[in-house]
Amino acid sequence: MRAGYEATKEYEKKGLYTHINALGENLRTGLREVVEDLRINAHITGCGSMTKLHLLTDRIDQSNLGSLRIHADGNAEKKYFHHLISRGIFAMAPTQVHFYVSLPHLDRQVERTVSVTEDFLKSLGRGADA
98 DSSP β-pair partners:
52
Task: Establish how many alpha carbons lie within 13 A of residue 108's alpha carbon, considering only the half-sphere containing its beta carbon.
Answer: 1
Fold topology of 2-124? Aspartate Aminotransferase, domain 1 (3.90.1150)
User: pLDDT tens digits for 47-71?
Assistant: 999 999 999 887 776 667 777 777 8
Which carries the bigger pLDDT value, residue 108 or residue 62?
108
Instruction: Answer whether residue 127 shows pLDDT above 70.
Output: no
Report pLDDT for 22. 96
Q: Quick check: 126 and 41 in contact, CB under 8 A? A: yes
Give the pLDDT band of residue 130 (cuts 50, 70, 90). Answer: very low
pLDDT in tens, 14-28: 788 899 999 999 999
Supply the pTM of this predicted model.
0.85
What does the pLDDT average to over 108-122?
97
